[in-house]
Amino acid sequence: MPQALLLQLEECARAGGFDLLGLVDAHRFDATQPYELRCAREMSGCGTVIVVACGGSAPTEWAALRELQPMVQRAGYRAQFVEPTQGRLRLAALGEAAGLGTVSPVIHRLLHPMFGPRVIVGGAVLVEGQPFGPIADKSIAEHFQPCCNCPRPCLSTCPSVLAESSGHVHVDATRCTRERQRGACANACGVIRNCPVGAGQALPQVVESERHRYELARDLAIQGRGVWPAIRRWIGWW
């Protein structure tokens, strides 16, 4: 039954354009996170996290993610869906723990071996206990570190680059949102386009623009600008 449920979840997510799914041991993940960003704080008894993301070129039906929580609940397990805009869990870090890539220390995005920075984590389903059994550590971050020794062409045209006194140069998320509100990077992200990881997986312009707009709306909501109701209407979460 649990494995059949997992297959059903994968099929449902894939039908909505979310072609990446992985499991995370919540207890192991929580041990690496500050208290306020732990899965157990979001849902008591959480032992498993189902992470769902999109990386391919299929159009995304965000409303499909609404079906994942009730599917788990109908199977008899307590569950809770965490939306990206809630900002109460580090979804990129969960994606890394699920083996969906490595979080870049330069652009702070999840980098997938095939899709590069085009991956968007659509959300996570917190599940009580471990109905799928023990979950092995699937992180690939130890051996997949594409930013090491990279000349960083991704930063060449980005208006949101921040150089710290320590010498670390990276993209600042708050500055990125501010620059986009001012009209920069209106139709696409130069960082994503210039990243050499997954360079052969360029998205169709329509899909690229749709995800680019979604990410701005998501980031505005996370940063407390109060636009999540508008996002829900836009992606069909009524």
User: Is residue 43, in this structure, part of any structural domain at all?
Assistant: yes
Q: Tell me: do 91 and 190 sit in the same domain.
A: no
User: Is residue 188, in this structure, part of any structural domain at all?
Assistant: yes
> Does the pLDDT at position 40 exceed 50?
yes
User: Is residue 7, in this structure, part of any structural domain at all?
Assistant: yes
d(CA 174, CA 195): 20
Q: Burial level of 210, CB count in 10 A (0-12/13-18/19+)?
A: middle
pLDDT, tens digit, for every residue of 80-108?
A: 999 988 878 999 999 999 999 999 999 99
> Does the pLDDT at position 117 exceed 50?
yes
Q: Which domain holds residue 40?
A: 2-128
pLDDT, tens digit, for every residue of 180-237?
A: 988 899 889 999 999 999 999 989 999 999 999 989 888 888 877 544 444 444 444 4
d(CA 221, CA 84): 9
Q: Tell me: do 8 and 84 sit in the same domain.
A: yes
